[in-house]
Amino acid sequence: MKRLIQNISLLLTVTALLASCHKAVVDRTTLYPALAPANIDLNADSWKPVLIKDASVFNVPAPDATTSPAYVADLNEIKAYQSKLTSEQRATIKYWSAGAVLRWNEILRDLVAKHNLPPYQNADGTYPIPSAANPFAYPLFPFSNPPYAARAYAYVSAAQYDALIAAYHFKKLYNRVAPYTFDANIQALVPKSALPSYPSEDAVVSGATVEIMKLLFPGDIDYIEQKEAEQKQYRIMAGANVRGELNAGESLGTQVADVFAARARTDRAGKAIGTPADWAALQTKTTARGETFWLSQESPLRPPMLPLFGKVLPFLFDTLTVAALRPGPPNATNSDAFKKEVAEVLSYSENPTREHQAIVEFWADGVGTYTPPGHWNAIAADEFVKQNYSEVRWARNFALLNMAEMDAAIVCWDTKYFYFNQRPTQANPKIKTLTGIPNFPAYTSGHSNFSAAAATVLSYLLPDRGSKFNDMANEASLSRLYGAIHYRSDIEAGMVTGGKVGQYAVQRGKTDGAGN
């Protein structure tokens, strides 16, 4: 019996040891340093905005005089917080200090991943459509598939950018110093900035974001507003803004975002899902050209994803340019070139290497992820944190990237539904895929459009990275061939078009007054 007790205690000791050696997973975004801009970009009020014309038309009343009881009360609020900061509050400061544009971009990516789930079928084999009017009922609104996500990233980034440009106008107009500069008894728990602090750039960003998000993710407003409140509290606790500066910023952000929300309501994205008549017409049109039309590879057959997204209003060019950017037709189904392409896909399907599997998985960005545009936002964020940008430059660079991504989605979707061609698995059912097959036509590859557009913009913004982004874009594009869901020509044509769309953003960047 004594032996037994010894044995049991030995086992328990080993168990305790094992339990203690479990390693915690470190999220790399938690390691981002506090934002300490190398240049505060004081001239950003003269940069070219996306939609707003004249910042002075917005209503930002003069701040309370620094001698007023209201301002003194605001300062005392900071001191009260700073006298008894909890470790949780310090963690909040650390999190948000990485930057408002960055953290809101991450929050958006999170919501995209949360909502990137195709609806489950009805009992009769049809599919329910998410409704913005009832976002909490299944299927939850939205289904943030790649085009939806690309548009969301673009509106949020562009609204943040314009809102910050407007904020700079008022910052310079009122020229209010930060609380930590004004009052020696207030500590700066974030790197100090010489930028005037009224209205707060952090609150401008959150105000704009929250207002746009009411349209894009109406079911998550509670969560988003909780984040906004947390961010405001962070600025106060950090001694970086008084409450009055935050309220003015939020109000300005909301006003600017309303300009974007008005555009979003009429940009034709709401009708992109089409009607059963639209879906049928795609088939007849393709048959009339003597071609094989696309069929959903899902069971039950799912209607095509956002067939009218190609009609959405782009940011960087007009709708005529969308048609002009459309590449020529894919290889005809009865051509030798097509047969050769199908055979190539089959060979990748039948002989997967572990290296190819890894590439396919790395770039899959399918169901339940932040989508390819989100992936490029994550790649950009990892690079931008090294650059010590100001908030306004963060916003401008994300706006350039994400307007390119949205417009790449528009051009790509226009092409996909213009030709409405079949996927490799439809052409040859022997082809099995190494990742989920997207529910829309093959030509041209969405990954290739998104990746080439993003790589073009990022290579312009960060020329010292050399071919890094283009190499990544090539790999992302080829992953779709390795995964046996695209022909090589989908990728090659998609890369060309995506690169052209990216160039429109580069041209804008060259002339927007922000420099490189």
Partner 1 sequence: MIKFLHLFFTRYCLATCCIFAFWQTAQAQTDADALMIPKNYFCTGVVYTHSDWKNYWEGTFKRSNANIGTLSSNAFTVVGNYGVTNKLDFLFMAPYIKTNASQGTLKGQSGVQDLTVGLKYLAFNTEIGKGLFSIHAIAEGSIPLSNYEPDFLPVSIGLHTKNLSIRGLANYQVGRFFVAGAGQYVFRSNITLDRNSYYTDHLIYSNQVDMPNVSNVLISAGYRSLKLNVEGIVSQTTTQGGFDIRKNDMPFPSNRMNMTTVGGLAKYSFEDITGVEVTVGGNYVVRGRNVGQSTNLFASVYYILDFSKKTK
Which of 110, 278, 344, 492 forms a contact with partner 1 (CB under 8 A)? 110
Whose Cβ is closer to partner 1: residue 440's or residue 460's? 440
One residue of 203, 484, 501, 505 binding partner 1 per CB under 8 A:
484
Stretch that binds partner 1, among 205-213, 274-282, 356-364, 392-400 (CB under 8 A): 356-364
State which residue, 400 or 437, has the beta carbon closest to partner 1: 437
Among 100, 437, 454, 472, binds partner 1 (CB under 8 A): 437
Which helix (H) or strand (E) segment holds residue 291: the answer is: none
Compute the distance between CA of residue 20 and CA of residue 280 in angstroms, rounded to an integer.
60
> Which of 145, 251 has the CB closer to partner 1?
145
Q: How far is the CB of 6 from partner 1 (least distance, A)?
A: 10
Q: Which listed residue (65, 69, 84, 120) binds partner 1 by CB under 8 A? A: 120
Distance of alpha carbon 97 from alpha carbon 237, whole angstroms: 11
Q: Is 492 in the site for partner 1 (CB under 8 A)?
A: no
Helices (H), 217-353: 221-237, 243-265, 276-288, 319-325, 336-350
Contact pattern from residue 14 through residue 33 relative to partner 1, giving x for each residue in contact according to CB under 8 A and a dash for the rest: xx--xx--xxxxxxxx----
Q: Copy the structure tokens of residue 395.
A: 């916003």
Which of 35, 272, 342, 431 lies at the binding interface for partner 1 (CB under 8 A)? Answer: 431
Question: What is the C-alpha separation between 36 and 399, in angstroms, rounded?
Answer: 21
Min dist CB 300 to partner 1, Å, is: 7
Contact of 129 with 398, CB cutoff 8 Å: no
> Which residue lies nearer to partner 1 by CB, 121 or 233?
121
Which span sits near partner 1 by CB under 8 A: 240-248, 325-333, 369-377, 502-510? Answer: 369-377
Residues belonging to the chain:
516
Q: Which is nearer to partner 1, 178 or 360 (CB)?
A: 360
Q: How far apart are CA 377 and CA 370, in angstroms?
A: 9
Q: Pick from 344, 436, 475, 513: which binds partner 1 (CB under 8 A)?
A: 436
State the amino acid at position 348 in one-letter form: Y
If the CB atoms of residues 71 and 443 are measured against partner 1, the closer one turns out to be 443
Q: How far apart are CA 434 and CA 350, in angstroms?
A: 10
| CA trace torsion 374, 225, 40, 469 (10° rounding) | 0
Residues 6+ away with beta carbon under 8 Å from 421 = 286, 291, 292, 293, 294, 330, 333, 441, 442, 443
**Which positions ≥6 away from 304 have C-beta within 8 Å?**
274, 279, 282, 294, 296, 417, 439, 440, 441
C-alpha count within 13 angstroms, C-beta hemisphere, residue 461: 29
Applying CB under 8 A, the span of 6-14, 250-258, 271-279, 282-290 interacting with partner 1 comes to 6-14
Q: How far apart are CA 268 and CA 311, in angstroms?
A: 7
4 binding partner 1? (CB under 8 A): yes
The set of residues, in sequence order, having a beta carbon less than 8 Å from that of 17 and lying 6+ positions away, is: none
Selected from 97, 200, 255, 297, the binder of partner 1 by CB under 8 A is 297
By the rule CB under 8 A, 497 interacts with partner 1: no
Residues 128-157 that bind partner 1 (CB under 8 A): 138
343 binds partner 1 per the rule CB under 8 A: no
Please list the alpha-helical segments (H only) found in 142-220.
Answer: 146-174, 179-182, 201-216
87-95, 152-160, 292-300, 323-331 -> range binding partner 1 (CB under 8 A): 292-300
Number of C-beta neighbours around residue 73 at 10 A: 13
Please select the residue that binds partner 1; options are 82, 292, 321, 369, rule is CB under 8 A.
369
**Least spacing, CB of residue 298 vs partner 1, in Å:** 6
Q: Does 392 sit near partner 1 (CB under 8 A)?
A: no
Q: Which helix (H) or strand (E) holds 80?
A: helix 69-82
Q: How far is CA 486 from CA 388, 439, 455, 483, in A?
A: 39, 12, 20, 8
Shortest distance (Å) from residue 359 CB to partner 1: 8
Q: Decide whether 6 or 185 has the Cβ nearer to partner 1.
A: 6
CB of 366 vs partner 1, minimal distance in Å: 8
* 77 belongs to the binding site for partner 1 (CB under 8 A): no
The secondary structure of 325-355 as a DSSP string is HPPPPPPPTTSHHHHHHHHHHHHHHHS--HH
Q: Does 475 bind partner 1 (CB under 8 A)?
A: no
Of 49, 366, 441, 494, the residue at the interface with partner 1 (CB under 8 A) is: 366
Given a contact cutoff of 8 angstroms between Cβ atoms, the answer to whether 208 and 256 are in contact is yes
Q: Which residue lies nearer to partner 1 by CB, 206 or 297? A: 297
- Between 176 and 423, name the residue whose CB sits nearer to partner 1: 423
230 forms part of the interface with partner 1 (CB under 8 A) = no
Binding of partner 1 at residue 425 (CB under 8 A)?
Answer: yes
Residues that bind partner 1 (CB under 8 A): 1, 3-4, 7-8, 11, 14-15, 18-19, 22-29, 106, 109-110, 113-114, 117-120, 138, 297-300, 349, 352, 354, 357-359, 361-362, 364, 366-370, 375, 378, 425, 431-437, 484
